[in-house]
């Protein structure tokens, strides 16, 4: 069975595009990026921008857009029996280069984990004028990083805003 990515969260003010690999099962069920309660993505962003944490998706969307961040995935579709990126098969990419052309303020691609970066590099050539930032995955499967280590690494995105 194939899984399909969501449309990007983006607007004309976006400067950083955060790329995951593919939404996990919980995210697909809820039709929301990073919906699994143990995924640190939203907790990290709320802390980085000194905002009160919220479970409301609309507030989460406003948080990223108001802070000039876009969110998408490197893959358009793939086969994956669960939520682990290591189990992905038959991957097909999103058209990231076209998105960047359409939203010319994006100057940084930040990868949420090594698989997002791996698939980006597999299907795309480097784009002139774009900064690339490798970040630890916010997934609970990335147990090798403590939350504080993830938060510290992710704080790098603020220098590109």
Do residues 20 and 33 make contact, with C-beta atoms less than 8 angstroms apart? yes
Given the residues 39, 67, 94, 112, select the one marked as catalytic: 39
Burial 70-93 (b: 16+ CB within 10 A, else e): bbbbbbbbbebeebebeebeebeb
Residue 15 tokens read as 């400067």
Decide the pairing of beta strands 69-73 and 131-135.
unpaired
Active site residue 94: no
Active-site annotation, residues:
39
């Amino acid at each position: 069975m194939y899984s399909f990515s969501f449309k990007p969260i983006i607007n004309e003010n976006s400067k950083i595009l955060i790329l995951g690999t593919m939404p996990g099962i919980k995210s697909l069920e809820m039709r929301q990026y990073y919906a699994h309660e143990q995924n640190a993505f939203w907790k990290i962003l709320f802390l980085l921008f000194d905002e009160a944490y919220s479970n409301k998706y609309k507030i989460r969307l406003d948080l990223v857009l108001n802070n000039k961040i876009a969110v998408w995935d490197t893959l358009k579709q793939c086969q994956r029996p669960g939520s682990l990126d290591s189990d992905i098969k038959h991957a097909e990419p999103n058209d990231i280069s076209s998105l960047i052309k359409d939203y010319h303020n994006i100057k940084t691609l930040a990868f949420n984990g090594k698989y997002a970066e791996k698939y980006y590099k597999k299907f795309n050539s480097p784009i002139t004028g774009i900064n690339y930032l490798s970040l630890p995955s916010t997934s609970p499967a990335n147990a090798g990083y403590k939350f504080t280590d993830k938060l510290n690494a992710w704080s790098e995105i603020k220098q590109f805003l």
